[in-house]
Amino acid sequence: MSSKSVTIAHFSDLHLSGKRERRRIAFLEKLLASIERAGCDHIVITGDLVDTADPAEWALVKEILQDAGWFSWERASVIPGNHDLTNIEEEMRFYNAFNPDPNARKRRLHKKISEFCTLFRELITGDERVAGFPYIKSIDYGSQVISLVMVNTVWPWMNLENPLGARGYVNPAELEALRDPSVVGALKDSFVIGVFHHACRIYETGVPIDQAFDWTMELRNREELLGTMGTIGARLLLHGHFHRFQSYMAGGIRVVNGGSFRYDPERYNEITIREDGSFSQRFVDL
């Protein structure tokens, strides 16, 4: 980076499924090395690190980041996606076998979120303490402070309301906490970036079959999330989930979809933030 700008590399939706996937792991190592060579200051991964919600596979991602020298609070931020937290087959089996109450599903999801936050605690709190969502990382680069506002949008699987486990929802209490005047005041002098997994805008093609698909993927209370991001002065929002590389406006804020490493492992989103608070965005092909 030049001394007056900060560069963030953002990618998403790795969907790794174990050490057997040597080719995809090699691509991830190559991507991390390219980002290093490009002089990026920080990487952001917006969820779906793995495919089957298996914590052993999260650990593989952690190991790859550690080996590449990216696993530190200053250098990397991650959030979980639906595929990190929900194994649909397992959920359906439970449902068919025991017909459990919805609160049991919520509890399972929260347990999984706290396991995720424990494994990645160095990236969340920078030490041994474990924190949950939402959380804010304000990183002081000398010339400027960048605040990453990390929000969980993964919603529990439900047979009727969330049949694929891919619909998103943010707990309104978490958004209310972010809108607290003390938080808004603390973020006032930094460049604020909202980070979450689900998309603010999906297909919108007008074709009925796509619309049916939209419904299963959507972020249910996206307007509330966008409103909150506006209140806290977010300049930029980063997400994944909908596997397309896109840059668009929503709620008056620039939004970038980091696409999917699974489908194009040689592409990432690069954000350059200058000292005067202006920024530019481009998709980089290796």
Q: What angle do CA 29, 48, 115 make, to 5 degrees?
A: 100
Decide if residue 241 touches Fe ion (CB under 5 A): yes
Decide if residue 81 touches Fe ion (CB under 5 A): yes
**Closer residue to Fe ion (CB): 13 or 41:** 13
Chain centroid, CA 141 distance in Å:
22
Decide if residue 51 touches Fe ion (CB under 5 A): no
Decide if residue 87 touches Fe ion (CB under 5 A): no
Q: Binding segment for Fe ion among 46-54, 67-75, 175-183, 200-208 (CB under 5 A)?
A: 46-54
Q: Binding segment for Fe ion among 21-29, 70-78, 86-94, 239-247 (CB under 5 A)?
A: 239-247
- Choosing from 27, 41, 43, 48, the residue that interacts with Fe ion (CB under 5 A) is 48
**Closer residue to Fe ion (CB): 87 or 147:** 87
Cβ-Cβ contacts under 8 Å for 25 (sequence gap 6 or more)? 16, 19, 60, 64
Cα distance from N-terminal residue to C-terminal residue, the chain: 18
- Choosing from 5, 77, 82, 228, the residue that interacts with Fe ion (CB under 5 A) is 82
In the block, tokens 């896109």 appear at: 246
Rounded to the nearest whole angstrom, what is the least distance from the CB of residue 134 to Fe ion in the complex? 18
Size of the site for Fe ion (CB under 5 A): 5
Q: Binding segment for Fe ion among 82-90, 96-104, 156-164, 186-194 (CB under 5 A)?
A: 82-90
Which has the closest alpha carbon to 137: 121, 149, 152, 120? Answer: 149
3-state secondary structure of 2: coil
Decide if residue 270 touches Fe ion (CB under 5 A): no
Rounded to the nearest whole angstrom, what is the least distance from the CB of residue 162 to Fe ion in the complex? 12
Decide if residue 91 touches Fe ion (CB under 5 A): no
Decide if residue 218 touches Fe ion (CB under 5 A): no
Decide if residue 259 touches Fe ion (CB under 5 A): no
120-159 residues near Fe ion, rule: CB under 5 A: none
- Choosing from 8, 13, 154, 235, the residue that interacts with Fe ion (CB under 5 A) is 13
The residue length of the chain stands at 286
Rounded distance between C-alpha atoms, residue 122 and residue 264, angstroms? 28
Which has the closest alpha carbon to 195: 247, 238, 245? Answer: 238
In the block, tokens 């499924």 appear at: 17
Decide if residue 84 touches Fe ion (CB under 5 A): no
Residue 168's φ and ψ, nearest 5 degrees, are -110, 160
Burial zone of 123 (CB within 10 Å; 0-12 exposed, 13-18 middle, 19+ buried): buried
Q: Binding segment for Fe ion among 76-84, 118-126, 131-139, 199-207 (CB under 5 A)?
A: 76-84
Rounded distance between C-alpha atoms, residue 194 and residue 228, angstroms? 10
Decide if residue 167 touches Fe ion (CB under 5 A): no
**Closer residue to Fe ion (CB): 81 or 265:** 81
The secondary structure of residue 179, as a DSSP letter, is T
Rounded distance between C-alpha atoms, residue 59 and residue 41, angstroms? 23
**Closer residue to Fe ion (CB): 41 or 84:** 84
In the block, tokens 């995809």 appear at: 24
Site residues for Fe ion per CB under 5 A: 13, 48, 81-82, 241
